[in-house]
Amino acid sequence: MNITGIEIRVLEYPLEKPFVSTWQPMPTVNHRVHIVFIHTDEGITGIGSGGVAAHWDIARLFLLGQDPFAIEQHVQNMRSFAFFIGRPWPLEVALWDIIGKATGQPIYKLLGGGQERLRAYASTGELRSPEQRVEDAQRLRDEGFRALKLRFHRPNPRDDLRVLEAVRKAVGDSMDIMVDANYGWVIAPDRAPQRWDLRTAISMARAMEELGVYWLEEPLYCYDYDGLAELRRQVNLRIAGAELNQGLHEFKILLEKGCFDVYQPDITFAGGFAQCRQIAAMVQAHGKTITPHTWTNGIGLAANLHFAASLGLCPYLEFPYDPPNWTPEARDFMLAEPFRADEEGYVKVPQGPGLGIELDEDKLKRYEAADQSRII
Ligand SMILES: [Mg+2]
């Protein structure tokens, strides 16, 4: 089988209300998605996507005329051309989608089998009042979720703690609560220039210990290896992170320094399926836990769902969900069927070949930014 063409389609889905996340300075008004389609001479097309504005055109030099099954060769090339274009990993996802379709197997089974469904945590994205978050948490529990993740990013971290205290009081021990501070990167003009330093992170983590928080995520900059390791030594709380880290070598440093208990590589950010499986092996060898970041779109969620399912033991799957501003319909608008959690709080792994997802052709046409889509 040979690769005969690569196509990039750019979509923009207008949200009903702006989504004001903690990790970017501007609200999201349109959900913008790049999808790559890799075509072959056997009529099989693979798809991939991730959350990055992508300049994947260079890929034609390395992929056209090549066998999509030659994953190791393609990964070596992508690691090199990532120097020019950022993160090429949705291309690798599309190759695995082809391999799955050619062999008639879902990707997670090609990578090791594992779980047919994963326990999800509802991953919120906005800062809301204690009263609103209590209401949200009760609704999520009624829907079946047994865990949720709150965001911390206020100018005064005591105000973040007040939300956590209110939610814990409301749900008692019936839900696990994760906290994500989103201080892994610095985006100017960040709405919270008063980032946590190590002392603040330690005192916040200690307060969270008292409230039984399941993990604290991204308390410090993603390359502050020594600060993260020191924080982890000082507290009895799981520290999570690495959604912004990439490649085997960054994860090697994180593991050797002892930065995290829970590692969160995203297939579409950190290195595709092949490298993330290797990262997972390193994490496992250090006795730590892995559960991927998934916050991009329905295709990226599908890729990370297959990865998580292939691991055999993944405590929770991130399920980006913060209605009414971030819903399955908006997140997965390009899919015929949005991913949903069932009444027990689990997400099913698609059992069809490859990623096992079907695109909604009508929506692809309706929301296409046609002036930017192209064949490369
Ligand atoms: Mg996060």
CA of 71 to the centre of ligand 1 (A): 28
pLDDT tens, residue by residue, 17-32:
999 999 988 899 999 9
CA of 360 to the centre of ligand 1 (A): 28
CA of 41 to the centre of ligand 1 (A): 39
CA of 182 to the centre of ligand 1 (A): 6
CA of 243 to the centre of ligand 1 (A): 6
CA of 270 to the centre of ligand 1 (A): 14
CA of 218 to the centre of ligand 1 (A): 7
Find the mean pLDDT for residues 305-318.
Answer: 93
Residues within 5 Å of ion ligand 1, judged at the Cβ atom? 180
Find the mean pLDDT for residues 35-62.
Answer: 89
User: 350 is written with which tokens?
Assistant: 């698609």
DSSP state of 126: S
Q: Are 188 and 195 in contact (CB under 8 A)?
A: no
- Answer yes or no: is pLDDT of 348 > 90: yes
Backbone angles phi, psi at 320, to 5 degrees: -60, 120
pLDDT tens, residue by residue, 79-123:
988 888 889 999 999 999 999 999 999 999 999 988 999 999 999
CA of 126 to the centre of ligand 1 (A): 12
- For residue 167, the tally of other CB atoms under 10 A from its CB is 21
- Answer yes or no: is pLDDT of 371 > 80: no
CA of 45 to the centre of ligand 1 (A): 31
What pLDDT is attached to residue 192?
A: 63
CA of 10 to the centre of ligand 1 (A): 25
Find the mean pLDDT for residues 350-356.
Answer: 98
Peptide linkage before 18 cis (omega within 30 of 0): no
- Answer yes or no: is pLDDT of 312 > 90: no
CA of 330 to the centre of ligand 1 (A): 19
Can you point out the beta strands (E) in the chain? 3-19, 28-40, 45-50, 117-123, 147-151, 176-180, 215-217, 238-241, 262-263, 289-290, 317-320, 346-348, 374-375
What pLDDT is attached to residue 118?
A: 97
pTM attached to this predicted model: 0.96
For residue 269, give the 3-state DSSP assignment: helix
CA of 244 to the centre of ligand 1 (A): 9
- Answer yes or no: is pLDDT of 189 > 90: no
On average, the pLDDT of the chain sits at 95
CA of 102 to the centre of ligand 1 (A): 34
State whether CATH 3.30.470.10 applies to domain 3-104+361-375: no
Whether the CA torsion 237, 188, 304, 128 is positive or negative: it is positive
CA of 371 to the centre of ligand 1 (A): 32
Dihedral angle, C-alpha 60, 64, 70, 72, nearest 10 °: -20
CA of 7 to the centre of ligand 1 (A): 30
CATH of 110-348, one of 1.20.950.20, 3.30.310.10, 3.20.20.70, 3.20.20.120: 3.20.20.120
What pLDDT is attached to residue 311?
A: 92
User: 52 is written with which tokens?
Assistant: 């990055």
CA of 271 to the centre of ligand 1 (A): 17
- Answer yes or no: is pLDDT of 320 > 70: yes
Find the mean pLDDT for residues 32-41.
Answer: 96
Q: Where are the domains of the chain?
A: 3-104+361-375, 110-348
CA of 124 to the centre of ligand 1 (A): 10
Find the mean pLDDT for residues 197-223.
Answer: 97
